[in-house]
Amino acid sequence: MDQIVSTRRDGGIAVISVDNPPVNALKHAVRAGIRDAFAAARDDAAVEAIILTGAGRTFMAGADINEFGKPSQPPSLVDVIREMDDIKKPTIAAVHGTPLGGGLELTLACHFRVAAPGTRLGLPEIKLGLIPGAGGTQRLPRLAGIDKAMAMILSGDPIPAKDALAVGLVDAIIESDLIAGAIAFARKVLAEKRPLRRVRDMEDKLGEVRRDPQKFGEIVAAHTKRSRGLAAPAAAVEAVRWTLDVPIDEALRREREKFMELLAGDQSKAQRHIFFAEREAAKVSGVSKDVAPREIRRAAVIGAGTMGGGIAMCFANAGIPVTVVETAADVLKRGQDTIARNYKTSMSRGSLSADEMERRLARFTGTTNIGAIADADIVIEAVFEEMDIKKQVFGNLDRLAKTDAVLATNTSYLDVNAIAQVTKRPASVLGTHFFSPANVMKLLEIVRGKETAPDVLATAIAVGRKLGKVPVVVGVCHGFVGNRMLSARGIESERLLLEGALPHEVDGALTEFGFPMGPFAMSDLAGLDVGWRNRKSLGVKAVIADAICEKGDYGQKTGKGWYVYETGGRGGRPNPEVEALIVDASRRVGITRRPIDKQEIVERLVYPMINEGARILEEGIAQRSGDIDVIWIYGYGFPVWRGGPMFYADTVGLAAVRDRLAALAKSSGDKRHAPAPLLERLANAGATFASLAQDKA
């Protein structure tokens, strides 16, 4: 095999190295190369010990996801690992970067593992709708214990080398040169004639739970996150349970069988789509890889309300000092109190230490003096959703901010170009649309103005990544991508109420579909006033929602909206005033209420979004259908195992979506439901939204 896998000798030590940039993914040639290199070293009498390592930025980061769904070529990773397992010479995995998935499973077929500091080790298969398929569910519990293994497999999150050392997953951390350290480690093993224990034969760490199987349930409960509709978590728990009472070869066979079943399933296809779509989303036409982002050492946020406070926390959490500007001392204090309360909540949940909280709080400067933003490298405006106020603020920012500052607006709907035009530096202006709660939601919708400079875009993408967000660049239109599609859903959700449904029924159907919450609970969280301001600015009416707002009920922030919220309570209970208001509204507009089933509710909420997504693609507001999917998954909780609205449409079939929309347009008389030309064209051609990217490639 060509130089993808090479072996060099250091005396009696064979060092096998994989070099398949960028992440040494275990494609066919790599698997075959590793198998052949190990066989050669095994059969070479001069070789006393074998080291496996990866060149470049990381040890093998897992199977090559591009190969999934294609005919598999032998040897499989299971074959390679089976042969490695039987080698009677010391085998040592020397890891750095991110040994993940099949990469970590390879190391579990070695007798020893040594790691460079900063290495992060994990089994992220669950994030792809899979379980580890090459022994991870059986070998990791034997090496690191069932509790740690379950935590790693169910979260999919990697652990740092020092934690891996603590649980016995690695045998040593090499502070100096990794390969030289690994060779020295190998020589020590040989000199001390250390017994060669195969991980598969290790049982001591299973004893405690085997003796008290009830403990297994406690471990599962401790590590199970809400997995609404996901198939892989339950499969992973079942697989790890086999370590208790199923002989390992049988357990390994079952693991592979379950892995292959999930691999062929729709959920994993959807989650793999999102894996690549998320990475594609960061590639923006007109912004080449060599456009350098501006350096961001200090930030400022205008407005410390629902969003401003959360955005400021993102900067402080990422280690960037942030100035928060408000109109008056009392409003500023309210905003600062909310921030402190959020940190205290995280501390009480054990996800933040007291010291770290103090460090983060120390990065905030609160002021009512807008002049204080003069030394900020980026300023994000999060004031009321009113164009006049935003223009007035940007006029000030233009006057006061340093020349190379990036000026951003967190507007949900408004015209970013119009805001930029009040400044003398529209090239430095763009939208950075965070999602509520801003310190939690991962999406950052970056709105590119018609004059936004490439390095300003590159800066916003880099800042998004630094804040732990998933950045997606979109164009300017009302509501950009996410909220524009949300509006299409909102119009239909109000229509469903008038025709016979109640808020909790609509929300129930969508949560069953996989969303964390339905449209009405979501607008109560965001604040009904945001949508109200938007409708007023558009001159459109929502009979029921407007009536609720006129009563001053804005949702959670006022304790009442579509639902009623008890102080400190979790979630809302149905609001009888609203239900009476809905029934009365139906009567007033002459609609006879009827039962509406869940399927109809889901189709009438999701299909109009897909239709609006097609228009957005046609207008070039979004570059790829995958971008729209990433926006809806990370910004609006669209179920990841359905792959996002556009991927979901491809799964349902565009002809079926088109026909349902055409029927809806006819029955409702609402022309907006008429299938978008792109949808019509693709459906007629039997094509998919995904095929658009393939055609472009």
Site map 331..360 versus ligand NAD, x via CB under 6 A:
x-----------------------------
Those residues whose C-beta lies under 8 Å from the C-beta of residue 564, and which sit 6 or more positions away, are 572, 573, 574, 575
Whether 550 is a known active-site residue: answer no
Residue 304: contacted member of ligand T1G, ligand NAD, none (CB under 5 to 8 Å, by partner type)? ligand NAD
Question: Least distance from C-beta 422 to ligand NAD, angstroms?
Answer: 14
Binds ligand T1G (CB under 6 A): choice among 3, 9, 11, 66:
66
Q: Is 222 exposed, middle or buried (0-12, 13-18, 19+ CB in 10 A)?
A: exposed
Q: At 670, is the secondary structure helix, strand, or coil?
A: coil
Position of tokens 């997606």?
472
Q: Are 557 and 306 in contact (CB under 8 A)?
A: yes
Q: At 367, is the secondary structure helix, strand, or coil?
A: strand
Which residue, judged by CB position, is nearest to ligand NAD in the bound state? Answer: 305
Residue 411: contacted member of ligand NAD, ligand T1G, none (CB under 5 to 8 Å, by partner type)? ligand NAD
Q: Are 504 and 553 in contact (CB under 8 A)?
A: no
- Of 44-52, 59-67, 289-297, 390-398, the window that binds ligand T1G (rule: CB under 6 A) is 59-67
Question: Least distance from C-beta 564 to ligand NAD, angstroms?
Answer: 20
CA proximity to 363, closest of 314, 405, 433, 328: 314
Residue list 16-55, contact with ligand T1G (CB under 6 A): 22-23, 25
Spell out where 449-520 has E strands. 470-474
101 makes contact with ligand T1G (CB under 6 A): yes
Q: Which residues pair with 586 in a beta bridge?
A: none
Whether 125 is a known active-site residue: answer yes
456-465: b or e for each residue (b if 16 or more CB lie within 10 Å)?
Answer: bbbbbbbbbe
**Nearer to ligand T1G among residue 77 and residue 307 (C-beta):** 77
Q: At 272, is the secondary structure helix, strand, or coil?
A: helix
**Nearer to ligand NAD among residue 393 and residue 601 (C-beta):** 393
Q: Which residues pair with 14 in a beta bridge?
A: 9, 50
Binds ligand NAD (CB under 6 A): choice among 164, 307, 376, 463:
307
308 makes contact with ligand NAD (CB under 6 A): yes
φ, ψ dihedrals at 615, nearest 5°: -65, -40
Catalytic site residue from 83, 105, 203, 512: 105
**Nearer to ligand NAD among residue 90 and residue 303 (C-beta):** 303
Binds ligand T1G (CB under 6 A): choice among 30, 50, 51, 77:
77
CA distances from 89 to 32, 54, 425 (A): 20, 20, 67
Binds ligand T1G (CB under 6 A): choice among 14, 32, 49, 61:
61
Q: How many residues bind ligand T1G (CB under 6 A)?
A: 24
Q: Which residues pair with 474 in a beta bridge?
A: 447
Residue list 600-659, contact with ligand NAD (CB under 6 A): none
Find the helix packing angle between 482-499 and 598-619, rounded to 10°: 150
Question: Least distance from C-beta 278 to ligand T1G, angstroms?
Answer: 8
CA proximity to 33, closest of 75, 83, 64: 75
Q: Are 561 and 548 in contact (CB under 8 A)?
A: yes
619-639: b or e for each residue (b if 16 or more CB lie within 10 Å)?
Answer: eebbbbbbbbbbbbbbbbbbb
Residue list 278-307, contact with ligand T1G (CB under 6 A): 279
Site map 395..414 versus ligand NAD, x via CB under 6 A:
---------------xxx--
Catalytic site residue from 48, 83, 125, 579: 125
Site map 359..388 versus ligand NAD, x via CB under 6 A:
-----------------------xxxx---
Q: How many residues bind ligand NAD (CB under 6 A)?
A: 26
169: left (phi over 0), alpha (psi -120 to 50) or beta: alpha
Question: Least distance from C-beta 472 to ligand NAD, angstroms?
Answer: 14
Binds ligand T1G (CB under 6 A): choice among 33, 99, 133, 366:
133
Binds ligand T1G (CB under 6 A): choice among 33, 90, 99, 136:
136
Question: Least distance from C-beta 315 to ligand NAD, angstroms?
Answer: 16
Strands 299-302 and 378-381: parallel
Where along the sequence are the contacts to ligand T1G (CB under 6 A)?
22-23, 25, 61-66, 77, 98, 100-102, 105, 124-125, 128, 132-134, 136, 276, 279
* Active site residue ranges: 105, 125
Where along the sequence are the contacts to ligand NAD (CB under 6 A)?
302-308, 325-327, 331, 382-385, 389, 393, 410-412, 434-436, 526-527, 530
